[in-house]
Structure 1
C-alpha cells in the first residue's frame, strides 16, 4: 500500500458486542463463558493454554460441535463499547489475518497495517476484526482505538 496523500474518510465502528466472529472447529461456547481467539483467530472458550488471546465473554450459547472452523458465527461481549478504526491491509505474505485478532501488529505506513515486524513500529492497540471486500464493512483491519 502507500501512505496517504490527502485526508482519509472516517472508517469507524463502535461495538460492545462484536458479532459474526467464526468459531473454531468442533467447539461449543456457553453463554457467559470467557472467550478467546485461538492461534488461528477463531473463537474458543478459555482453557489452560498459552496460545489463546482472551477477548471477552459469550453473550449467547454457540454450538459448532462437529462443524468445521468458521461454520458457525458467534459473538463477543467486549465488556464495554469499543471504538474501532478500519485500516488498510498489507499484501501477502505479510497481510493481517484472523490469526492476528487479539494481537498487536505493525505500521507499514500511515494507513496500512502489516505483520512484518522488521523495520516497522508496533501499533499501540490490538486487532479486533479483519473483514474482506465481500463484507458489508469492506476490506479492513479493525483495530481498537
Structure 2
C-alpha cells in the first residue's frame, strides 16, 4: 500500500477495555492478564522460563472460564489503563516509582528476574496501601 496522500478515517475505538481471545483457561476478574507470544492468546500472568515470550495485556474486567473449550473459543475483556491494588510482601513507601513485575496473576515482585527467568513488567508503584499491598499504574506497561 502506498503512503497516504490525504485524510483518512482510522476507525478509532476507545481503548480502555479491549477484548482478547483466550487460551483454554479460566481467567478471574481483577487478575493480571498476559499474552503468550507462542500462540497470542490471553492467559493469567505466570512465573517461569516461558515468561520471556509474555506481553502484559492488563487487568481482567470479568471472569471467563474457557478451560473446557479450545483456545480462541471465548474472549475476555481486559482493562488497559488505571491504577490497581495487588499483593507485594514487604511493601514500603520507598518503592513509589519503582517498576513492578508479576509472580502470578495476583502477586507482584520488585525483581525483574526469578532465578534465571524473567518476570513480566506490569507497571509502576504509585502508592503503598499497607505492608503487603501496593497500588500500581499499569498504563505504561500494557501492550
TM-score by length of 2: 0.51
**Whole-angstrom CA distance in 1 between matches of 2:11 and 2:74:** 27
Structure 1 pair 127–34 and aligned structure 2 pair: CA distance change class (3 A): closer
Please tell me whether the aligned partners of residues 58 and 142 of structure 2 are also in contact (alpha carbons under 8 angstroms): no
Aligned partner of 2:40 in structure 1 is: 41
Aligned partner of 1:7 in structure 2 is: 7
- Unmatched runs of 5 consecutive residues or more in structure 2: 83-140
User: Per-residue deviation at 1:47?
Assistant: 0.4
The CA deviation string for residues 97-126 of structure 1, in whole angstroms up to 9 with x for no partner, is xxxxxxxxxxxxxxxxxxxxxxxxxxxxx9
Work out whether 1:18 is the aligned partner of 2:18.
yes
Instruction: Look up the SS of the partner of 1:50 in the other structure.
Output: helix
User: Per-residue deviation at 1:34?
Assistant: 0.1
Aligned partner of 1:58 in structure 2 is: 60
**Whole-angstrom CA distance in 1 between matches of 2:13 and 2:63:** 24
Please tell me whether the aligned partners of residues 56 and 142 of structure 2 are also in contact (alpha carbons under 8 angstroms): no
Please tell me whether the aligned partners of residues 27 and 64 of structure 2 are also in contact (alpha carbons under 8 angstroms): yes
TM-score by length of 1: 0.50
Higher gyration radius (CA)? 2
Structure in which a larger fraction of residues adopt strand: 1
**Whole-angstrom CA distance in 1 between matches of 2:4 and 2:142:** 21
Instruction: Look up the SS of the partner of 2:53 in the other structure.
Output: coil
Aligned length: 81
RMSD across aligned C-alpha pairs, in angstroms? 2.1
Stretches of 4+ moved more than 2 A in 1?
Answer: none
